């Protein structure tokens, strides 16, 4: 989605994985060390800042009146 709206903002897929995905995932483990957690937080913050200008995040409450009820089977 981001590549469609703003090509090359996050680099190639491999660059994106190396710069954001791997550090964020490495910092989320129970046994992650302090450096991994710190790097995870920095990279998540950078990613959030990059996406702030054009990703519009909304919660379920906004759409609740327009969506049919959810049925679990």
Burial of 40 (0-12, 13-18, 19+ CB in 10 A): buried
Nearest to 11 by CA among 55, 61, 46, 52: 46
What pLDDT score does 6 carry? 87
Domain spans of the chain?
2-63
Checking if the pLDDT of 62 tops 90, the result is no
**For residue 20, pLDDT beyond 90:** yes
Reported confidence tier of residue 43, pLDDT bands at 50, 70, 90? very high
Determine the pLDDT at residue 12: 92
Top pLDDT among 34 and 61 is at 34
pTM for the complete prediction? 0.70
pLDDT given at position 72? 92
């Amino acid at each position: 989605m981001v590549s469609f709206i703003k090509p090359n903002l996050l680099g190639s897929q491999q660059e994106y994985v190396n710069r954001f995905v791997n550090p964020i995932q490495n910092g989320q483990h129970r046994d992650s060390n302090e450096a991994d957690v710190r790097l995870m937080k920095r990279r998540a913050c950078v990613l959030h800042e990059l996406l702030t200008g054009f990703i519009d995040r909304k919660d379920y409450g906004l759409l609740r009146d327009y969506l049919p009820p959810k049925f679990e089977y």
